[in-house]
Structure 1
């Protein structure tokens, strides 16, 4: 418990500091985290993928990250057509499946390709959001990040002390209904001062709606990663964050939240 609190406190302080600095500071941080997260994701299968399949995956994640940066969109050198990115990575994986004599089989290929899309787009939207003008990018990013942190913390501590009814035992046996509800409540409460401090986000009822949606979707994102880990038979995606697991364990809720908010044009 002590290790988890210390790591969480130091990590949150560092992350929020770079978010406040914004621009390339935050963008660089997210870029590094995305590459680490893809490595962790690929390792959950329990064996080395080889440097070529991993290189293709890193190329895909990098291209998606670059293609969503406002500064590079439309640039003749770095601008990337996303539809061509999908096709390029998929074709490279298929070619290597043949050249490797099926060492990279269709199941491993599918797993890696899904990881490129999931991690690449999730983190790219985190990068893209912070560049919104007039302080809107910082405000939106701060809202989603703090609500997600409050949601995770509330669900963990309340569930640990008072949780009795299992939320989804086949996917995540330790999560409880009581913890889930507490997490949503904590998330919505944290949204209120952010909405008051940043009127650019809109009316308080709208900010509360965003807070509620972020908390609910964040919990679904956490369950999605739990389902992936149950499929591959691992407990944590990594050990880089003592008491929390890996980067993917820490950012799974944020990835899913940014994807969903983007789909419904709420970012």
Structure 2
């Protein structure tokens, strides 16, 4: 527990400090986190972490996290075009190697690169919000996600009786999930009250709901594929906490979701 607390404090100071600073420092942190996350994913799926297919994945993740906006550059390829090329390359490897690199593994690496690269790119995009309030939006989403996690944990411990999805995550309860939604919505409302000119309570309720429901789904998705591969943690880079994917599973789903549904008022 001591190790977990110390790691948590150090990680929070580094992450929130660089998020506060923004710019290239924060973008670099997200890039490193994304690359480490993809390494964890490749290792978990039994792919050679530095083989040619994985390297294609690293390149695609790096492309999505490259600071094009900060450098006032236009990417040579749009993200959807880049993703298509990555798909073509990975599928072609299956043909070139005569199925020594099978289609299932190539498909998994493609999903991993897209899942991780897209998730972290939306986290970066939130911090660079065009309305100039990127720090506010980033903290609001993070606090809503964390409120959901904390609320679900304590509500589940106190009131939890009915299992939510025991075959995937045996400790989660329906009562805990509902508690997580409630606390996430409270957190988002608090940010709305602090800055009512940025977004109204209606938006806050929707964002809080999304942060809790989609965030919990992100957590369950992570639990599901770890069960498939029989592992407890995706990595060991954060002693007591596991890997990057263990800590960011909810973020990687929530940040893209609120952007895609245009819940962020900018």
1:207, CA displacement in angstroms?
Answer: 1.6
Residues 188 and 64 of structure 1, relative CA distance in 2, 3 Å threshold: same
Alignment RMSD: 2.2
Partner of 1:51: 51
- The answer to whether the 8 A contact 2:30-2:65 is kept is no
1:104, CA displacement in angstroms?
Answer: 1.4
Structure 2: unaligned runs, 5 residues or longer:
none
- Map 1:25-36 onto structure 2 (within 5 A): 25-36=25-36
- What's the TM-score, normalizing by structure 1? 0.89
State how far apart, in whole Å, the 1-side matches of 2:252 and 2:214 are: 10
Picking from 92, 116, 136, the partner of 1:95 is: 92
Tell me, yes or no, if structure 1 residue 203 matches structure 2 residue 200. yes
Partner of 1:223: 220
State how far apart, in whole Å, the 1-side matches of 2:99 and 2:52 are: 13
Structure 1: unaligned runs, 5 residues or longer:
none
Partner of 1:39: 39
- Determine helix, strand or coil for the equivalent of 1:188: helix
- Map 1:1-267 onto structure 2 (within 5 A): 1-46=1-46, 48-66=48-66, 69-71=68-70, 75=74, 78-160=75-157, 162-267=159-264
Deviations 1:43-79 (A, max 9, x none): 112453552111111011112223x84346762xx43
Deviations 1:103-159 (A, max 9, x none): 210000000000111111111011111111343221111111111122122323443
Deviations 1:12-48 (A, max 9, x none): 2322221111222221111111111111111112453
- What's the TM-score, normalizing by structure 2? 0.90
State how far apart, in whole Å, the 2-side matches of 1:82 and 1:212 are: 28
Deviations 1:176-226 (A, max 9, x none): 223222222222222233222333431133223312221111111111111
State how far apart, in whole Å, the 1-side matches of 2:248 and 2:180 are: 16
User: Size of the alignment, in residue pairs?
Assistant: 264
Q: Which moved more, 1:40-49 or 1:124-133?
A: 40-49
- Determine helix, strand or coil for the equivalent of 1:199: coil
- The answer to whether the 8 A contact 1:139-1:201 is kept is no
Q: Which moved more, 1:50-59 or 1:79-88?
A: 79-88
